Amino acid sequence: MTEITGGIAPVPTPLNADLAFDQEAQATHLRWLASEGLEGALILGTNGEFPSFSLNERRAVAEAAASADSGLELILGVGSCALPEVLAMVDVASSLGYRAVLCPPPFYFRSAPATGIAAFFLQVLERSSLPVLLYHIPQVTGVAISDEVLDLLGGHPSLAGVKDSTGDPDELRRLTHRFADGCYLVGNDRLVSACVEAGGNGSISAAASVAPSLVCAVQRGEGEQEHLGRVRALLEEYGLGPSVKSLLRRFGFGSFATRPPLAGIDDARAPLLWDEFCELIPADRRPS
């Protein structure tokens, strides 16, 4: 199984003012990311707000990303608590030529036993003709990708690795060890250098959507992790998802509206975010 490596952006799903999917904005963003040197993009991950969209909408978003012909390696988030929906999105990814799929545990069922979580994942692994990455983000899902779950999966041939978004160095060490012969992708910008040093494969981190060249430089050992950490801190200060969308809107890529129950940055704070972002990312690293 070919490794999935490098800098990958977990892109937001752009919406217009009517809260409908904006295909043109998605394509513009993906092509800019490719021009800045990223290897790939994650479609319909957490930053893509996948739980906010119907199954038909998610199909449309996945199809549009594939048809954008950006040159990026695309990973499709297939998350849902309903196993039939997950399997349907796995089939969509396969039919559209995606590189891999990313599957979180069924996040509503927080008291499900490890045997049940493993059974859920095994259905996905058996169905998928693509490499499957497990999505470890227990601070959101409430369900960890534990050693017990991994033991129950037993090294299934479709199990490529894990995306670890805990931001916890201890979890980085645990999972790079577990997937020493597979794929470990870190999901927090603050740990990109630590991932490289631990033998990880790459990153799927929020700052890559707005500062892709910086993420690529840190990934290659040519940029400062401290600088990337400051960008991450700024995004978190204003709200990770809302700040990314606000910056992309300022870039001129589209409206990047937000569907309730989530909310965007208010008009008074958006200029402050922009000014602070411009202090960290020079003009030649922003879209012209």
| Backbone torsions φ then ψ of 198, nearest 5 degrees | -85, 0
Collapse the DSSP code of 272 into the 3-class scheme (helix H, G, I; strand E, B; otherwise coil) and give the result: helix
Residue 285 vs residues 9, 32, 33, 36, 173: alpha-carbon distances, Å: 16, 11, 11, 8, 32
The amino acid at residue 130 is: L
Tokens of 245: 């969308």
Asked if residues 4 and 161 have their Cβ atoms less than 8 Å apart, the reply is: yes
Asked if residues 29 and 252 have their Cβ atoms less than 8 Å apart, the reply is: no
Asked if residues 20 and 147 have their Cβ atoms less than 8 Å apart, the reply is: no
Tokens of 220: 């290659």
The secondary structure of the chain in percent helix, strand, coil, rounded to multiples of 5, reads 50, 15, 40
Any idea of the CA torsion for 279, 264, 219, 63, to the nearest 10 degrees?
-140
Instruction: Report, as residue numbers or ranges, the catalytic residues.
Output: 46, 108, 135, 163
